[in-house]
Structure 1
């Protein structure tokens, strides 16, 4: 269970960070260090979301295992993509700044 939720989270996170990386390359193409900045920011963002995805996927799978339920592939898709979606929403909101 953990593996499938994590894979969906990984692939959706790769998609989001890849799209943002391409956008950053286009916007920073005239900047002297634009490529380096893009590479650093995309890799740090992806590694942070990867670490968060591992932890939250393990938590979801643990709850399902303790409850004695099986997880359908569509549920793994919803949880994995949902993790990435919530990560993007929280990143763009000002919720963390209020804590």
Structure 2
């Protein structure tokens, strides 16, 4: 149960972070240190869901298991992409707060 939510969180995170990393690489390719920002964006697209995504997916699956409910695949898709959506919203709000 937790594996489905985790996979959808990982896939949806990569869906957002790979284009952002490629855009950063393309726009900062001539900058001395800026080109390494794209690597950090790509790493956060992978490392974030692996660390925090596993923990939240296990917590969600634990709640479902304790309630005695079965998780259908649409719920796994919704919960996995919802995790990524929350991370993206918090990331944008954090950047705007520093401006």
Q: Secondary structure at the match of 1:69?
A: coil
User: How far, CA to CA, are the matches of 2:37 and 2:84 in structure 1?
Assistant: 23
Structure 1: gaps of 5 or more residues: none
Query: Root-mean-square deviation (CA), in Å?
Result: 1.7
User: Which residue of the partner structure matches residue 88 of structure 2?
Assistant: 88
TM-score scaled by length of structure 2: 0.85
- Rate the CA distance shift 1:45–1:76 in 2: closer, same or farther, 3 A: closer
Q: Which residue in the other structure is 2:78 paired with? A: 78
SS of match in other structure, 2:18: helix
Q: Deviations over 1:26-84 (max 9, x none)?
A: 22022123333321343145312321111110110000000000000000000000000
Report how many residues are paired: 95
Tell me, what secondary structure is at the counterpart of 2:70? coil
CA contact (8 A) 2:10 2:50 kept: yes
Q: Does 2:7 correspond to 1:7?
A: yes
Provide the TM-score with structure 1 as the length reference. 0.85
| Pairs within 5 Å for 1:1-99 | 1-94=1-94
